[in-house]
Amino acid sequence: MSEVHVHRVQPAWKKNALIDNDTYLKWYAESVKNPDKFWGKHGKRIDWFKPYSKVENTSFDGKVSIKWFEDGETNVSWNCIDRHLKKRGDQTAIIWEGDNPYDDRKVTYNELYAHVCRFANVLKKHGVKKGDRVTIYMPMIPEAAYAMLACTRLGAIHSVVFGGFSPDALAGRIDDCKSTFVITADEGLRGGKHVPLKENTDKAIEIAAKAGTKVEKVLVVRRTGGKINWVAGRDLWHHDEIATVKADCKPEKMKAEDPLFILYTSGSTGKPKGVLHTTAGYLVYVSMTHQYVFDYHDGDIYWCTADVGWVTGHSYIVYGPLANGATTLMFEGVPNYPSQSRFWEVIDKHKVNIFYTAPTALRALMGSGDAHVTKTSRKSLRVLGSVGEPINPEAWEWYFNVVGNGKVPIVDTWWQTETGGILITPLPGATNLKAGSATRPFFGVKPQLVDGDGKVLEGAADGNLCITDSWPGQMRTVYGDHDRFVQTYFSTYKGKYFTGDGCRRDEDGYYWITGRVDDVINVSGHRMGTAEVESALVSHDKVSEAAVVGYPHDIKGQGIYCYVTLMAGEASSEALRKELVDHVRKEIGAIATPDKIQFAPGLPKTRSGKIMRRILRKIAEDDFGALGDTSTLADPAVVDDLVANRQNKK
């Protein structure tokens, strides 16, 4: 290991910080010693229709059951809006920054209330009720947040699908949760390009119908005014509908463990899983982490650059910040449009204090040169955050020194769709920083490292990251498939939640996430199952077999490397390569675009027919000197061909 540069907490970070190191140590010790007492106290940070008397009731053994605050009653939209109106009705809740820099909007809490109530009344008018699943396939416009909050107001379960997913991917998600109501927009707008959301929705609805789910209503928000197809009786214009309803809607009283939302995420096998989060524990956890991790103070302008289609958008654009009465910035565009300075210009324009983004964006911007950054002021910045993938020390130092002028703490936050909120992270006024380390656990979080056999590793060690006790923001189940939940997360290491990540703990007890140890890859901060890309490839009629692995990529973190065996009689060609790339984009979406396709006459398999991915990973990394033992292969000769035709020759 090269020497690690420690960035100590600077006096300015400590000055008004909510948590200093002594407080961190004290609270952390309390939180793990007596979780019931700790969360019993912090559960009160949200408002309740009916207070809870029980706090934690969880078990990671056997059938696995996770309940928090179970006899309490509350409502998420009521916590994110209504309770703020008296004190901050005229404060901006959402700053919307459009794709076009001349396009922006501010929405106060009073306005948010009216928008969300109308939205909820429209849903209600068309039959949406508590427990129904509503699919949201939207661009980054405030109406996406209204739609989410409107669902929670009624107790409907939203399933937000990222606007970059294809009709096929959308259809699979509609069908999996039998969602009969879809909210979308005519088109999205990103980097000046139009995204045909309504057209995709139309196609998805056809596909879902064939699978057995009939979508009854499509509510369409007008974003660009682009031409779209219209199905009378099924499609509804949002602007027409909201004109017919009142701007008041009573929030439904929800039990703490009533489902809040489903969010599909990729695993190492099979189709994406519907991660289910519930009402109260989730809200307590995301609001608390939003406040302390970002050292959020009343009046701060906070910007998370994620998309609401991902968990980061759910927890840290919408629910955490709004539960805290914050001003949250929502950005429709991309980091390099109209110029490479866009992020920093938006920070100056809206005087952003807290900025939260992904390493992949930082690496891309770093590559375009410092001048794009240094020509802006960024004086308003007080906290910088990173999320979604490991941040390499070079990108970290650049973020710190160039973006933050060496004066702003970076919180490298490790978490997952499944965890609901941030689990391992520095706190700005408390934690000495090391470039590339997510540092220490948040309150109540008990990480543990184990080796491949499940042996617990103590002290400085390298292993697989588990969490040994529950926290309120944890997912409760896989929608419709509790066995899969137990199998995926609690069977590898009995009685522990297994994250799927590898991790090193150093001599100071700091955690360094080293990346996934399963067949999940992380491409530009987008999580993807290699199995999904493989199944997209083999659905092409010229493909007989495919194996997909990740390889290190300078900007994306990981690139997608595909080994493809063609049907007998099919010849490989550049044209076919392109056809396969397009095919994967059509099946999943542009985020799954293969970077490399290698045509392979055979794949390395054991005698029992199992593909040896370890070997494929090494070849994709151009590190075939370290192939290890290949003697167990059914046909060791295939490896020579794979090496000779590798696509990543240095």
Contacting positions for ligand WTA (CB under 6 A) = 265, 310-312, 386-390, 412-417, 438, 499-501, 513, 515-516, 522, 527
Least separation, in Å, of the C-beta of 610 and ligand WTA? 24
Q: Is 214 exposed, middle or buried (0-12, 13-18, 19+ CB in 10 A)?
A: exposed
Name the strand (E) or helix (H) holding 278: strand 273-278
Cα distances (Å, whole numbers) of residue 552 to 45, 521, 603, 620, 621: 42, 10, 21, 9, 7
Q: Is the Cβ of residue 35 or residue 390 nearer to ligand WTA in the bound state?
A: 390
Contact call for residues 363 and 336 (beta carbons, < 8 A) = no
Contact call for residues 433 and 426 (beta carbons, < 8 A) = yes
- At a CB cut-off of 8 Å and minimum separation 6, what does 507 contact? 459, 460
Three-state secondary-structure class, residue 18: coil
Least separation, in Å, of the C-beta of 25 and ligand WTA? 22
Q: Is the Cβ of residue 235 or residue 412 nearer to ligand WTA in the bound state?
A: 412
Q: Is the Cβ of residue 266 or residue 291 nearer to ligand WTA in the bound state?
A: 266
Give CA–CA dist 293/405, Å, rounded. 20
Least separation, in Å, of the C-beta of 434 and ligand WTA? 13
Least separation, in Å, of the C-beta of 503 and ligand WTA? 9
Q: Is the Cβ of residue 92 or residue 278 nearer to ligand WTA in the bound state?
A: 278
Three-state secondary-structure class, residue 395: helix
Give CA–CA dist 123/431, Å, rounded. 45
DSSP-assigned letters across all residues of 559-627: EEEEEEEEPTT----HHHHHHHHHHHHHHTBGGG--SEEEE-S---BBTTS-B-HHHHHHHHTT-GGG-
Q: Is the Cβ of residue 352 or residue 387 nearer to ligand WTA in the bound state?
A: 387
Least separation, in Å, of the C-beta of 631 and ligand WTA? 32
Cα distances (Å, whole numbers) of residue 494 to 63, 341, 457, 488, 517: 11, 49, 15, 11, 18
Least separation, in Å, of the C-beta of 551 and ligand WTA? 16
Tokens of 133: 């699943």
Q: Where are the beta strands (DSSP E) in 388-440?
A: 410-413, 433-434
Least separation, in Å, of the C-beta of 400 and ligand WTA? 15
Q: Is 300 exposed, middle or buried (0-12, 13-18, 19+ CB in 10 A)?
A: buried
Cα distances (Å, whole numbers) of residue 343 to 38, 141, 297: 38, 17, 22
Q: Is the Cβ of residue 24 or residue 498 nearer to ligand WTA in the bound state?
A: 498
Q: Is the Cβ of residue 350 or residue 504 nearer to ligand WTA in the bound state?
A: 504
Least separation, in Å, of the C-beta of 398 and ligand WTA? 16
Least separation, in Å, of the C-beta of 633 and ligand WTA? 29
Name the strand (E) or helix (H) holding 516: strand 511-516
Least separation, in Å, of the C-beta of 164 and ligand WTA? 14
Q: Is the Cβ of residue 58 or residue 437 nearer to ligand WTA in the bound state?
A: 437
Question: Assign residue 212 a region: left if phi > 0, alpha if psi is -120 to 50, beta otherwise?
Answer: left
Q: Can you say how many angstroms the Cα of residue 576 is from the centroid of all Cα atoms in its chain?
A: 33
Q: Is the Cβ of residue 106 or residue 484 nearer to ligand WTA in the bound state?
A: 484
Q: Is the Cβ of residue 219 or residue 366 nearer to ligand WTA in the bound state?
A: 366
Tokens of 613: 């991915």
Least separation, in Å, of the C-beta of 527 and ligand WTA? 4
Tokens of 253: 């009283």
Q: Is the Cβ of residue 146 or residue 355 nearer to ligand WTA in the bound state?
A: 355
Cα distances (Å, whole numbers) of residue 77 to 172, 183, 246, 283, 475: 28, 18, 17, 10, 19
Least separation, in Å, of the C-beta of 281 and ligand WTA? 17
Q: Is the Cβ of residue 390 or residue 472 nearer to ligand WTA in the bound state?
A: 390
Least separation, in Å, of the C-beta of 520 and ligand WTA? 7
Least separation, in Å, of the C-beta of 312 and ligand WTA? 5
Give CA–CA dist 316/167, Å, rounded. 27
Q: Is the Cβ of residue 152 or residue 425 nearer to ligand WTA in the bound state?
A: 425
Tokens of 401: 């020194």
Q: Is the Cβ of residue 278 or residue 464 nearer to ligand WTA in the bound state?
A: 464
Three-state secondary-structure class, residue 150: helix
- HSE-CB at 552 with a 13 A cutoff on CA atoms is 11
